[in-house]
C-alpha cells in the first residue's frame, strides 16, 4: 500500500461564532460601525450626485431641496455627519501606522503624523466655511 493511495477523511473545523460577536469588544464595535458608515456615506454620495444631476432642472432641484428640509432628512444628514466624523477620526488614528515618516535616520513620532492630519482637516474646514460665508 502506497502513501498516495491512503486517504483519510478530514473534516474542517468550524468554530461556532455568535451573531453578536462584534458586541464583545469595543474595537469590534468600532470596526462594524466604520463598515456600516461606509455604506451610509456611499448612499450620501449618491444623493449629492443626484443633486448635481438635477441642478440643470430648476423645478426638480427646488423640489429636492424642499424635500431635504424635512425633519427625517435632517436626521439623515446628522447621521451621515456622525459617520463621516467617525471615519475621519479612525482614519487619522491609523495614519501613523500606515505612514511611517523619517527625517534622516529618526522616525517622526506618531502623534505628530496624526496631529498634522488633524491640523490640515481644521485648516481646510475653516477655509471652506470662510468661502461659503463670504459668498453670502
How many CB atoms lie under 10 A from the CB of residue 68?
14
Enter the pTM of the model. 0.73
Residue 4's Cβ-count burial label (10 Å; 0-12, 13-18, 19+) is: exposed
State the virtual CA torsion across 123, 127, 130, 132 in degrees, nearest 10: -130
Question: CA–CA separation, 70 vs 72, rounded Å?
Answer: 6
CA distance 95 to 38: 18
C-alpha cell at 46: 449618491
pLDDT, position 2: 58
Give the CA angle between residues 49, 133, 50 to the nearest 5°.
10
Q: What digits encode the pLDDT tens for the residues 120-134?
A: 999 999 999 999 999
Q: How many CB atoms lie within 10 A of CB 125?
A: 10
Reported as a single tens digit per residue, the pLDDT across 70-120 is: 999 999 999 999 999 999 998 899 889 988 888 889 999 999 999 999 999
- H-helix or E-strand containing 129? helix 110-135
CATH class of the domain whose range is 22-99: mainly alpha
Phi, psi of 69 (to 5 degrees): -95, -5
pLDDT, tens only, 23-78: 999 989 988 999 999 999 999 999 989 888 988 899 988 998 898 899 999 999 99
Amino acid at each position: 500500500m502506497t502513501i498516495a493511495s491512503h486517504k483519510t477523511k478530514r473534516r474542517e473545523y468550524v468554530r461556532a461564532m455568535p451573531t453578536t460577536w462584534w458586541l464583545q469588544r469595543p474595537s469590534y464595535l468600532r470596526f462594524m460601525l466604520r463598515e456600516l458608515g461606509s455604506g451610509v456615506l456611499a448612499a450620501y454620495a449618491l444623493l449629492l450626485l443626484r443633486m448635481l444631476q438635477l441642478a440643470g432642472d430648476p423645478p426638480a432641484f427646488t423640489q429636492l431641496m424642499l424635500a431635504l428640509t424635512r425633519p427625517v432628512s435632517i436626521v439623515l444628514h446628522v447621521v451621515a455627519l456622525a459617520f463621516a466624523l467617525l471615519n475621519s477620526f479612525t482614519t487619522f488614528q491609523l495614519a501613523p501606522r500606515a505612514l511611517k515618516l523619517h527625517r534622516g535616520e529618526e522616525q517622526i513620532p506618531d502623534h505628530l503624523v496624526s496631529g498634522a492630519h488633524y491640523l490640515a482637516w481644521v485648516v481646510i474646514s475653516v477655509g471652506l466655511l470662510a468661502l461659503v460665508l463670504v459668498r453670502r
